[in-house]
């Protein structure tokens, strides 16, 4: 069990739930419908990728696991972080940062797909 990834994933999940509740209860009166939708997208992607980091924590220690965890974490920061700020500030140029986070997510998923054989080598004995 990778303790660092477990702590990181749990922290992202904690804040994802907190931000979701904050948006649903405290921001719904002060944000426009489109800004609230942006906030909820940020929460959704944070929670999905927080679960992915928790799943990585359960895998055997491996370079692919560490790199994927890092990519997911940076992705959450860039993707969800930029959307949170965009939703509350309305600063449109922050939307240009969001796709970089998406690329981090895609890179992590692709790395896991391509390198899954190195994590779980095929049993060739039988």
| DSSP state letters, 82-116 | HHHHHHHH--GGGGGTHHHHHHHHHHHHHHHHHHH
Mean pLDDT value across residues 113-118:
89
Q: What is the pTM of this model?
A: 0.92
Question: b/e string for 5-31 if b means 16 or more Cβ within 10 A?
Answer: beebbeebbebbeebbeebeeebeeeb
Mean pLDDT value across residues 22-28:
91
What is the overall mean pLDDT for the chain? Answer: 93
pLDDT band of 124, cuts 50, 70, 90: low
pLDDT for 123 equals: 62
Q: What is the CA radius of gyration of the chain?
A: 17
pLDDT band of 1, cuts 50, 70, 90: confident
- C-alpha–C-alpha distance, residues 79 and 94, integer Å: 10
Mean pLDDT value across residues 79-94:
94
Nearest residue to 55 (alpha-carbon basis) of 105, 114, 1, 106: 1
Flag whether pLDDT at 14 surpasses 90.
yes
């Amino acid at each position: 069990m990778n303790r660092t990834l477990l702590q990181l994933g749990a922290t992202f999940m904690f804040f994802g739930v907190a931000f979701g509740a904050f948006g649903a209860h405290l921001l719904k009166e002060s944000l426009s419908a489109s800004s609230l939708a942006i906030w909820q997208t940020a929460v959704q992607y944070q929670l999905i990728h927080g679960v992915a980091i928790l799943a990585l924590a359960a895998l055997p220690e491996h370079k692919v696991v560490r790199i994927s965890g890092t990519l997911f974490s940076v992705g959450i920061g860039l993707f969800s972080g930029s959307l949170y700020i965009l939703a509350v500030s309305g600063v449109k140029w922050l939307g240009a940062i969001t796709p970089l986070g998406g690329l981090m997510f895609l890179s992590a998923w692709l790395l896991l797909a391509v390198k899954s054989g190195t994590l779980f080598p095929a049993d060739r004995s039988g």
